[in-house]
């Protein structure tokens, strides 16, 4: 199939073919440049860039069929600064809008997203090979939930807060905290969730009064382009949400180094995340980093076996294992080990492998040949180090030339790369543990700390174990679901990064926290000039009266230091 070049529609122009956005979409176009939604195989996707930026192209390949999906024009690095400046201009106007206007945009974006659900899902499936159901649930549905939560709660989360003053020397003051926009948020997103990650982060930025410039992964530019298109269809001000296309080494690096960026939100590998953080530190730009994981699953002896097996199956093999919060290590207690492994083997063997565009497919391909080679190398190294390969390990014969890999199960914890490195493929290791304490120790031995799950019928035990696991999220009898629940913050610790997206924490992370106060000016601060012994004695007395332990002790200080306190009061009244 010949590669399709995606046409570009600029402001004030009409596409040559009538394949653009719906007739009733809102578009105020005096500035900027937008691409229409264009029919592709098997779906259609928008592409966005600026007129001066059309120089090179990204080739998009379907990882299941290895057919060309399309060619996407990239953004010249020299044009990134212009796009950031345009976003800043739009943001300055947007920040002045009341929350009612922001809420209306979020709800209009939800409407546009619902109307485009099948097109977006088809684009995601074509670029990633993931099953259609996963494209709908973990990409579109999650994004709709984020929009709904933000529309309901952003105004409340970001409203001005009173700061009470209860100290005797500050009782005359009134204070407030306000959450102000940062400006332009740079979002550098990965290929494993090419729509939901950048879209939800952009939506959060917009809800907080910011603009967003998104750099999708070069393997999935078409899915990422939908982020700008949905906001365009929703009637967002031109430039408020932009997408730049290109490689991380060129366009991505230029974006995160741009002086006009107020915060960087990066999702990707620890190595690249460190480089982003170093670059940002040079100009003191704050960053949010989500850098992957190697999540453990602790199956305790009293767990519901059937539920634990189904959770392990989905947690290990959904999205072909290419999930930062997917299950990569399973620790099973005592006598439950053998029946757990046996049932998981049976269920893994029954998974339907193939092209994700087929409704019954449950396991698609890996995203690239490079990724499959990485997975195969880790498995081979583990087996050589003593791990027992009990299922999979090879390339399945599914009648397609794509980058497929069998669901693979290893038993044992070898001294090999797989024990420490993120696999990011359909491979899981299972280890027998003596007790919960053993499982906690092994779980926390990882350098990652994104998520973990505890499987038991005992809620008290689950809470006790969860409190000791070094992870950003811990789920009981479930796995990774909270990424799709916007009220739950998302992020990790250790080499899984720092900062949070989602929930009130994500909104406030994309805000500048400002304290301001009101003071009538009638009370003079007693710590102002001039300094003298009476002022020092007064503050010694005040410290004992206000912060002393026990009423009797405070009363003694009050009596002994009364002259100092009187002097302090006179200073406050301006009688120095």
**Domains in the chain, start-ordered, CATH in brackets?**
79-291+506-513 (3.40.605.10), 295-480 (3.40.309.10), 533-572 (no CATH)
Q: What are phi and psi of 137, to 5 degrees?
A: -75, -50
Catalytic residue status for 26: no
Whole-number pLDDT of residue 564: 84
Q: What is the DSSP string of 2-55?
A: PPPBPP-EETT---SSS-SS-TT-----SSSEE---EE-SSSEE-----GGG-S
Across the range 192-213, mean pLDDT stands at: 99
| More confident of the two residues 12 and 404 | 404
Catalytic-labelled residue, pool 215, 294, 432, 494: 215
pLDDT tens digits, 78-131: 999 999 999 999 999 999 999 999 999 999 999 999 999 999 999 999 999 999
Q: What are phi and psi of 337, to 5 degrees?
A: -60, -55
pLDDT tens digits, 143-184: 999 999 999 999 999 999 999 999 988 999 999 999 999 999
Other CB atoms within a 10 A radius of the CB of residue 516 amount to 11
Catalytic residue status for 215: yes
Catalytic-labelled residue, pool 127, 229, 290, 376: 290
The CA distance from 408 to 402, in Å, is 18
Three state DSSP letters for 301-361: CCCCHHHHHHHHHHHHHHHHHCCCCCEEEEEEEHHHHHHHHHHHHHHHHCCCECCCCCCCC
CA–centroid distance for 144 within its chain: 15
Catalytic-labelled residue, pool 422, 432, 486, 509: 422
| More confident of the two residues 414 and 493 | 493
Catalytic residue status for 290: yes
According to DSSP, the β-strands at 9-10 and 33-34 are antiparallel
According to DSSP, the β-strands at 241-243 and 211-215 are parallel
Catalytic-labelled residue, pool 324, 333, 362, 406: 324
Query: What's the predicted TM-score (pTM) here?
Result: 0.90
Q: Tell me the two tokens of residue 19.
A: 């394949």
Q: Is the dihedral of CA 431, 433, 437, 438 positive or negative?
A: negative
Across the range 40-55, mean pLDDT stands at: 42
Q: Is the pLDDT of residue 39 over 70?
A: no
Q: Is the pLDDT of residue 471 over 60?
A: yes
pLDDT tens digits, 479-535: 999 999 999 999 999 999 999 999 999 999 999 999 999 999 999 999 999 999 988
Q: How much of the chain, in percent, has pLDDT values that exceed 90?
A: 83
Q: What contacts 556, CB < 8 A, 6 or more positions away?
A: none
Largest interatomic CA distance in the chain: 94
Mean pLDDT value across the chain: 91
Whole-number pLDDT of residue 49: 37
Q: Is the pLDDT of residue 26 over 60?
A: no
Catalytic residue status for 130: no
Q: Is the pLDDT of residue 199 over 60?
A: yes
Mapped onto helix, strand or coil, the DSSP state of residue 240 is coil
């Amino acid at each position: 199939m010949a590669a399709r070049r995606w046409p570009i529609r600029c402001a004030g122009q009409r596409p040559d073919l009538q394949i653009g956005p719906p007739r009733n979409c809102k578009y105020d176009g005096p500035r900027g440049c937008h691409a229409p939604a264009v029919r592709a195989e098997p779906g259609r996707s928008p592409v966005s860039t600026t007129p001066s930026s059309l120089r090179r192209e990204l080739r998009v390949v379907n990882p299941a069929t290895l057919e060309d999906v399309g060619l996407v024009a990239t953004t010249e690095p020299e044009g990134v600064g212009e796009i950031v400046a345009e976003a800043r201009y739009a943001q300055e106007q947007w920040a002045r809008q009341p929350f009612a206007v922001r809420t209306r945009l979020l709800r209009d974006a939800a409407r546009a997203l619902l109307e485009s659900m099948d097109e977006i899902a088809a684009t995601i499936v074509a670029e990633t090979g993931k099953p259609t159901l996963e494209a709908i649930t973990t990409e579109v549905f999650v994004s709709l939930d984020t929009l709904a939560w933000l529309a309901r709660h952003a105004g409340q989360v970001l409203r001005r807060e009173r700061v009470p003053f209860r100290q005797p020397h500050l009782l005359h003051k009134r204070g407030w905290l306000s959450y102000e926009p940062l400006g332009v948020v740079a979002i550098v997103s990965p290929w494993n969730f090419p729509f939901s990650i950048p879209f939800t982060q952009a939506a959060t930025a917009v809800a907080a009064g910011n603009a967003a410039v998104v750099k999708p992964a070069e393997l999935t530019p078409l899915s990422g382009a939908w982020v700008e298109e949905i906001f365009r269809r929703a009637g967002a001000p031109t430039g408020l949400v932009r997408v730049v296309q290109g490689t991380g080494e060129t366009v991505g690096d230029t974006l995160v180094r741009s002086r006009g960026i107020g915060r960087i939100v990066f999702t990707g590998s620890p190595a690249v995340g460190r480089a982003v953080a170093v670059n940002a530190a040079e100009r003191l730009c704050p960053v949010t980093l989500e850098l992957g994981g190697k999540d453990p699953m602790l199956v305790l002896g009293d767990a519901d076996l059937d539920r634990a097996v189904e959770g392990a199956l989905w947690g290990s093999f959904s999205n072909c294992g290419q999930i930062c919060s997917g299950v990569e290590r399973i620790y099973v207690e005592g006598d439950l080990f053998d029946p757990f492994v046996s049932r998981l083997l049976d269920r893994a063997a029954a998974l339907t492998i193939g092209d994700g565009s087929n409704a019954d497919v449950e396991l698609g391909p890996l995203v690239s040949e490079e990724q499959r080679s990485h997975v195969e190398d880790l498995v081979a190294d583990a087996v050589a180090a003593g791990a027992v390969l009990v299922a999979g390990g090879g390339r399945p014969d599914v009648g397609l030339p794509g980058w497929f890999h069998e669901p693979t199960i290893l038993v044992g914890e070898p001294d090999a790369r797989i024990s420490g490195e993120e696999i990011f493929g359909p491979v899981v290791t299972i280890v027998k543990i003596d007790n919960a304490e053993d499982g906690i120790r092994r779980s926390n031995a990882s350098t990652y700390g994104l998520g973990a799950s505890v499987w038991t019928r005992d809620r008290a035990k689950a809470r006790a174990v969860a409190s000791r696991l070094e992870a950003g999220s811990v789920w009981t009898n479930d796995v990774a679901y909270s990424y799709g629940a916007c009220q739950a913050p998302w992020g990790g610790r250790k080499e899984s990064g720092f900062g949070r997206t989602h929930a009130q924490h994500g909104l406030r992370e994309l805000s500048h926290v400002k304290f301001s106060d009101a003071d009538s000016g009638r009370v003079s601060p007693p710590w102002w000039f001039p300094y003298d012994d009476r002022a020092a004695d007064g503050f010694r007395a005040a410290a004992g009266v206000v912060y002393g332990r026990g009423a009797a002790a405070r009363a003694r200080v009050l009596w002994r230091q009364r002259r100092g306190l009187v002097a302090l009061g006179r200073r406050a009244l301006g009688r120095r």
